[in-house]
C-alpha cells in the first residue's frame, strides 16, 4: 500500500497543494486524457488541447490542430504556449506598475 501511495503521490501530488482551481488546463492528447478533459469540463475550467485527426475538436474550448503523438510537435507547441504565458504575465506586471505610478 505504501508503494502505491507513493506512486500516486508522485503522479498527482501537485494537485493536493492547489488552493484554488486553475483558470485553464492544457491537455496534450485529449483522446488519451479523456478523464482529465471530463473533469475540467465538470468543473467549468477552460481547456486547451492538442487535437489530432483521431479526436473530436468540439470537446475542447480552444483546440490546437497538431500531431499529438510527435515529441517535436509537442515540444514546439508547449514552448510557444509557455512563451505566450510569460509575455502575458510580464505585460500584466508592467500594467500594474503603471497603475501604481499614476496613484
2 lies in some domain: no
CATH code at position 80: 3.40.50.10490
pLDDT in tens, 8-37: 887 777 666 778 888 999 999 999 999 989
6 lies in some domain: no
Q: What are phi and psi of 83, to 5 degrees?
A: -65, -40
Question: Where residue 72 falls among pLDDT bands split at 50, 70, 90?
Answer: very high
Q: What are 65's strand-pairing partners?
A: 51
41 lies in some domain: yes
**Sign of the CA dihedral with 56 first, then 57, 60, and 63 last:** positive
Residue 66 CB contacts under 8 Å (≥ 6 apart), including other chains: 50, 51, 52, 73, 77
- Distance in angstroms (rounded) separating the CA atoms of residues 59 and 34: 10
Determine the structural domain holding residue 93 and report its residue range: 23-102
36 lies in some domain: yes
85 lies in some domain: yes
1 lies in some domain: no
Question: Structural domain tally of the chain?
Answer: 1
17 lies in some domain: no
Question: Where residue 102 falls among pLDDT bands split at 50, 70, 90?
Answer: low
Q: What are phi and psi of 23, to 5 degrees?
A: -75, -30
pLDDT at 8: 81
Residue 17 CB contacts under 8 Å (≥ 6 apart), including other chains: none
28 lies in some domain: yes
What pTM did the predictor assign?
A: 0.74
Amino acid at each position: 500500500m505504501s508503494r502505491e501511495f507513493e506512486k500516486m503521490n508522485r503522479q498527482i501530488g501537485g494537485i493536493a497543494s492547489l488552493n484554488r482551481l486553475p483558470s485553464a488546463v492544457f491537455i496534450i492528447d485529449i483522446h488519451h486524457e479523456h478523464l482529465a478533459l471530463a473533469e475540467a469540463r465538470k468543473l467549468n475550467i477552460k481547456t486547451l488541447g492538442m487535437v489530432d485527426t483521431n479526436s473530436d475538436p468540439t470537446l475542447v474550448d480552444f483546440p490546437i490542430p497538431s500531431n499529438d503523438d510527435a515529441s517535436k510537435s509537442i515540444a514546439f507547441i508547449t514552448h510557444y504556449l509557455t512563451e505566450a504565458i510569460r509575455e502575458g504575465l510580464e505585460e500584466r506586471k508592467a500594467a500594474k506598475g503603471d497603475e501604481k505610478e499614476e496613484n
